[in-house]
Amino acid sequence: MVFRKLPGVSASGMGLRLSQKFVFLLFLSGLVTLCFGALFFLPDSVRLKRIFLSKTEVQPVTVGSGSENDVREHLKRPKEPEHTRDMTPGKGETKSRKPSVSNEATEERLAGGKAQEDLTVSRSKADSLMERVSDAHIDANSDTFNFKKFQGCLLKPALGRDSGSTADPKTNDRREKVKEMMKFAWDNYKRYAWGKNELRPLTKNGHLGNMFGGLRGASIVDSLDTLYIMGLMDEYNDAKEWVQTSLDLNSNGEASLFEVNIRYVGGLLSAYYLTGEEFFRNKAVELGEKLLPAFNTPTGIPRGVINLGSGTSWSWGWASAGSSILAEFGTLHLEFVHLTELSNNPVFKEKVMSIRKLLNKIEKPHGLYPNFLSPVSGNWVQHHVSIGGLGDSFYEYLIKSYLMSDKTDEEAKKMYYSALEAIEANLVQKSPGGLTYMAEWRGGILDHKMGHLACFSGGMIGIGADDGAPEKRQHYLDLAAEITHTCHESYTRSTTRLGPEAFRFDSGAEATATRLSDRYYILRPEVIESYMYMWRLTHDPKYRDWGWEAVEALEQHCRVESGFSGIRDVYALTASHDNMQQSFFLSETLKYLYLLFSDDDLLSLEDWVFNTEAHPLPIIRKSCLQDEVTEEKTVSE
């Protein structure tokens, strides 16, 4: 530093005054630092501390900050900047990440009650343990999610008054039958395929597959909530223990972002919300973090495949021009919003909000959303539109985002009803025989085919009916009923009374498969899912009867000696089994059947939305949760 001589002041005099000033300033800054530092030692309730150290300063770290990946630490450490890294398409993400550790100090085992008769006891033991678990957590992490308050914000107990059993003996018998099917499917999985992803019921072994990036136990994670709501507590406890001790998230394989999200993240989140077991939450957040590198694209639209170990992500080889799939990147919203809710880490919600933003802004042909989008340019890659495979759950997540936000997410609402209008204007058709169906759209040309997957839309349109424009509400409910009826027809027109993978409405066909390759049934849930929603919305007994027809058909054609199997041809008299008990049979098909034969207060739609794998996620009542937080803080002061 250079000092210029001031007029009338000697060099030595100036030096003295400056050094006095310097010492004084040094003293002053030391005093300020000491006072500020002392704030950290004050109790949390002191107002001064909250003024100077605002919430944002005690938020958890975001992923991408290297070694800050420990979940326990994540709940406590100060926020560090997110290091977003651009990834050339298909090029490796190289950041190494240390394994996370779950918070096992607060874990307790539920008492293993006997299934039927001990159910109430098991649950109440579970509940009191759960309270202790969540209390411990509240003490340890006062800034994070408060499970007890969450329970207080539910309008009804999650499991209903009498665990959902109905006053009608016939319906209760049917419910018991579905529970027996679940136990049979589960017992065989446990016996022959424990820890693998699915059971192969004919060869009596397990299947790992390549969708989950080396993660194991898909059937276990997918079954947790179904076992729990059915009161199969011994089985639930086995599943829980496996997740706690053996679900290893440090795998190093190529996973479908979508499948891992809907089955594993969704399954863990629901298990947490139903039981309050902290390790479910920690594992969900830890796994969610491992999915984040897939979003490191120029547009923020994630790629479909990710290596869970290295974080490298790329697009499906079969997806045209390296594009991402609408139903995949559009089916993350519910889970990611809950990950932010439970971790207090905004990064998850930010990721899905930027997908939303892009989709809201982009130009849509005739108001429709094509199935393929480039994660690099953010443009549509080809104009194939479908409410079935490749598109389906994107629409589902729009209306469910609105409902899950306690009807505050106006953007999702607007996007959903505009999309539905475009679907009605362009895709909804009436067959010569009077069946309403959803065709597919290929650059303006209609393909008069409806996939089994598209049959979820009866339920979706049903649950959205009430929030549509007043003059449209009855119309939407009618449309939902018509679509559900058509899907039921696709079942009744087959020899097995199970529906084909896709059915057509051309060349004289009416809700039947015309191609050999479309005749299979792989234990899919979508038709039964719509029966369940339509039952809850209308209480028309035909939906329960249709569900029962499906139970009988499943028993007759899909039940084999050691589990349930898909079949290759729904029109064949002698079944040819595909030797696969899909994990979604346990999480969705049997759960929706069980709910269909239960009272409406078991997982009430007033409190819960189901993710696309039928994992229940609670409606987020922000004002209720926040009010209580304020009250508690005031009390503690």
Q: Which of 288, 330, 525, 566 binds ligand DMJ (CB under 6 A)?
A: 525
586 contacts 223 by C-beta, under 8 angstroms: yes
What residues form the annotated binding site? 612
CB of 393 vs ligand DMJ, minimal distance in Å = 4
CA distances from 127 to 34, 136, 159, 224, 242 (A): 47, 14, 12, 16, 20
Other Cβ atoms less than 10 A from the Cβ of 13: the count is 11
Question: Any catalytic annotation for residue 198?
Answer: no
- Token pair of 22 as six digits: 């310097």
Compare residues 237 and 612 and give the one whose CB is closer to ligand DMJ: 612
Contact positions with ligand DMJ (CB under 6 A) in 607-626: 612-613
d(CA 285, CA 264): 11
Compare residues 525 and 616 and give the one whose CB is closer to ligand DMJ: 525
Compare residues 227 and 390 and give the one whose CB is closer to ligand DMJ: 390
Q: Which of 225, 259, 482, 489 is catalytic?
A: 259
Residues 6+ apart with CB under 8 A from 173: none
CB of 335 vs ligand DMJ, minimal distance in Å = 12
d(CA 348, CA 352): 7
Contact positions with ligand DMJ (CB under 6 A) in 175-214: none
- Token pair of 356 as six digits: 């939303």
What residues form the annotated binding site for Ca(2+)? 612
CB of 502 vs ligand DMJ, minimal distance in Å = 13
Q: Alpha helices, DSSP H only, in 408-456?
A: 410-426
- Token pair of 394 as six digits: 């994107």
Question: Any catalytic annotation for residue 637?
Answer: no
- Token pair of 292 as six digits: 């984040």
Compare residues 384 and 524 and give the one whose CB is closer to ligand DMJ: 524
Contact positions with ligand DMJ (CB under 6 A) in 446-465: 453
Contact positions with ligand DMJ (CB under 6 A) in 275-294: none
Q: Which of 392, 482, 489, 578 is catalytic?
A: 392
The identity of residue 336, as a single letter, is F
Q: Which of 277, 289, 482, 526 is catalytic?
A: 526
Compare residues 228 and 584 and give the one whose CB is closer to ligand DMJ: 584
Question: Any catalytic annotation for residue 44?
Answer: no
Residues 6+ apart with CB under 8 A from 515: 502
Compare residues 231 and 525 and give the one whose CB is closer to ligand DMJ: 525
In this chain, which residue has its C-beta nearest to ligand DMJ? 612
d(CA 342, CA 601): 25
- Token pair of 327 as six digits: 């139903």
Compare residues 311 and 616 and give the one whose CB is closer to ligand DMJ: 616
Q: Is residue 586 helix, strand or coil? A: helix
Contact positions with ligand DMJ (CB under 6 A) in 562-601: 584, 588
CB of 280 vs ligand DMJ, minimal distance in Å = 20
d(CA 21, CA 3): 15
Q: Which of 501, 529, 588, 613 is catalytic?
A: 501
Question: Any catalytic annotation for residue 501?
Answer: yes
Residues 6+ apart with CB under 8 A from 179: 230, 231, 232, 594
- Token pair of 256 as six digits: 């479908």
d(CA 464, CA 331): 17
Contact positions with ligand DMJ (CB under 6 A) in 128-157: none
CB of 210 vs ligand DMJ, minimal distance in Å = 15
No. of helices (H) and no. of strands (E), the chain: 23, 19
d(CA 459, CA 466): 13
Using CB under 6 A as the binding criterion, the count of chain residues that bind ligand DMJ stands at: 8
CB of 227 vs ligand DMJ, minimal distance in Å = 18
| Contact pattern from residue 368 through residue 407 relative to ligand DMJ, giving x for each residue in contact according to CB under 6 A and a dash for the rest | -------------------------x--------------
CB of 584 vs ligand DMJ, minimal distance in Å = 4
d(CA 114, CA 225): 17
Residues assigned a catalytic role: 259, 392, 501, 526
- Residues in contact with ligand DMJ by CB under 6 A are 393, 453, 524-525, 584, 588, 612-613
